[in-house]
Amino acid sequence: MHESIIGKDAAEAAMREWLVQRLCGYLGKTAVELDPQVPLAEYGMSSVDALSLCGDLEDELKIYVDPILVWERPTIDELVVHLAALQAVPVGVDD
């Protein structure tokens, strides 16, 4: 069980690092300026940016990402937890 917790933490850390770097580019901010609990809209995230980010996520994770994801999970923390959970689902498991 301890190993699965470490694996989950590592997956979330990797997802967070990747996501923050992408968001820095879209928002014109540095990683230090992004509070993981502040809604991305407060940093000026536009619908075009959100849609582009979803495309980036699809390319990176090889999964379908609903275009409204960024509005349903508006903070970095919420996105990371959600995306890490999606990555943990075994291939071939139906919703």
> Which residue in 23, 8, 33 sits closest to 70, CA to CA?
23
Contact status, residue 24 vs residue 30, Cβ threshold 8 Å: yes
Q: Is the dihedral of CA 39, 40, 43, 46 positive or negative?
A: negative
Distance CA 9, CA 23 (A): 21
Residue 73 DSSP code: S
Please report the pLDDT score of residue 7 as a whole number: 67
Total domains in the chain come to: 1
Distance CA 95, CA 43 (A): 33
Residue 2 DSSP code: H
| pTM of the predicted structure, to 2 decimals | 0.82
Contact status, residue 29 vs residue 23, Cβ threshold 8 Å: yes
The CATH number of whichever domain residue 43 belongs to comes to 1.10.1200.10
- Residue 7 inside a domain? The answer is yes
| pLDDT tens sequence across 13-62 | 999 999 999 999 999 999 999 999 999 999 999 999 999 999 999 999 99
- Residue 93 inside a domain? The answer is no
- Residue 95 inside a domain? The answer is no
Give the three-class secondary structure for 44: coil
